[in-house]
Amino acid sequence: MKIGFVSTRFAGTDGVSLESQKWADVLEEMGHEVFWFSGRSDRPVAKSMCVPEAFFGHPENEWISDRIWGVSRREAHVTERIREVARYLEAMLRRFVDRFGIDVLVPENVLTIPVHVPLGVALTEFLAETGMRAVAHHHDFYWERVRFSLNGVPDYLDMAFPPRLPHVVHTVINQAAREQLALRKGVSSVLVPNVFDFGNENSRDDEWAADFREEIGLAKDDVFILQPTRIVPRKGIEHAIKLVSKLNDPRCKLVISHDAGDEGYEYQHMLEHLAEEEGVDMRIVADRVSERRQRNAKGQKMYTLWDIYPHADLVTYPSAYEGFGNALLEAFYFKKPVVVNRYSIYVQDIEPKGFSVVEMDGYVTRETVDAVRRLLSDAELREEVVELNYRLAKRYYGYEALRNALRAAFNQVDISQGEEAGR
């Protein structure tokens, strides 16, 4: 089949861009052909249609968003603007489908989280009018985000995020989302967790990345504790600081790979003050981390996140909430011991698989610290733990698991199409 992925953005290292590429890789291995529709794109130009108005950061959409969130009603001229943008984007979607002869659409989070309401409306109306088959990939729903609680678009949220259409198959990344989707929308879904290519052995510990520890000022005997996330409150980085403080070892250095980005710097400043008070050597290396290997304006090397993992001695993942937990899979892939806060999705979906990690329940205890010390000091135990985690992750969250889940989802699309034809 010719499969068309649709989202506001397919570029960079955000979760939607990364996971959609994994889906595309597996679908192409299965013999399908993949195409891309978005507002921003780094995908092959010959197989893409980039429409700037489809990007969530486009001024037109930002104007609309400013007037529909945090309010209880919307003005008539806002409704008209939503409809105008939706009509234009629906026309572009038709052009995309016609240009590439698309058989099935894969909406990537665009019918899930309403960061671009006109695009969600456009895609829903296009699917309703054409009866075209779709496999919707849902990452995080609007009811999971506080900022969407008060809004002036409850009718659009009910209509399009996600829609209830007989020829649309829904896929979710965790069991809790599956249950909430059934409860709130009355539709069933296929569970397709996030994955990693565990069949592709890591070979990134090469000459380019060999000097990373030296470049960020770490000594040979320093203990490199990596927090491989952005600095946002739900990541719970204060727990990583507390852990390093309680280890009470000046060799332990907490390295954070990314900064706060566009979510404000208040939390980052709080962490910096906390680290100072706790006597923790915390280093934010976002100015040396990029989406690809290159040199910055000063001529310094820029490293990817994959370049950093091989040098870490321990990975901290103290998140309060995650839709799934990509950084956890990455730590398993790079065979690093992990400290995990037992966030709800971890408890329900990941923990039962039998992974061996240092767990905490919302705070760092003496037992947590002792378990970390054992891992850092006992090479044999560390090797046993990381090898077990790699094997389990490959089994449950590798490309073969994704292949089986996609086969189930796309088989449902074929069945629904057959039922429509029969009627």
Task: Count the alpha carbons within 13 Å of 214 in the hemisphere toward its beta carbon.
Answer: 6
Looking at residue 264, its pLDDT comes to 78
- pLDDT higher than 60, residue 397: yes
pLDDT at residue 207 in the model = 87
- Residue 12 phi/psi, 5° resolution? 90, -155
The pLDDT value recorded for residue 262 is 64
Fold agreement (2-195+399-422, 212-397): yes
**Side-chain-side CA neighbours of residue 239 (13 Å):** 26
- The answer to whether 254 touches 227, Cβ cutoff 8 Å, is yes
CA 181/CA 416 separation, integer angstroms: 19
Return the minimum-mean-pLDDT range out of 83-87, 178-182, 198-202, 250-254.
198-202
CA-to-CA distance for 323 and 65, rounded, in angstroms? 23
In this prediction, residues 208-227 reach a mean pLDDT of 95
Q: How many CB atoms lie within 10 A of CB 317?
A: 26
100: which 2 tokens? 């590439």
- With a CB cutoff of 8 Å and minimum separation 6, the contacts of 220 are 213
The predicted-structure confidence for 3-26, as pLDDT tens digits, reads as follows: 999 999 999 878 899 999 999 999
Q: C-alpha distances in angstroms, 227 versus 124, 207, 257, 259?
A: 39, 23, 6, 11
Band (423; pLDDT cuts 50, 70, 90): very low
Token digits for 72?
A: 């209880």
Chain center to CA of 229: 11
Token match 């198959």: residue?
169
Q: Taking the domains of the chain in order of start, what are their residue ranges?
A: 2-195+399-422, 212-397
Q: How far is CA 356 from CA 40, 297, 366, in A?
A: 39, 42, 18
d(CA 127, CA 59): 26
Pick from 192, 146, 153: which is nearest to 169 by CA?
192
**Which residue matches tokens 């008539």?**
76
Cα(325)–Cα(397) distance, integer angstroms: 11
pLDDT score for 94: 98
Q: Average of pLDDT values for 305-314?
A: 95
pLDDT tens, 114-160?
999 999 999 999 999 999 999 999 999 999 988 999 999 999 999 99
- The CATH code belonging to domain 212-397 is 3.40.50.2000
pTM of the model: 0.88
Over the stretch 347-387, which tens digit does the pLDDT of each residue have? 999 999 999 999 999 999 999 999 999 999 999 999 999 99
Task: Given CATH 3.40.50.2000, say whether it is the number of domain 2-195+399-422.
Answer: yes
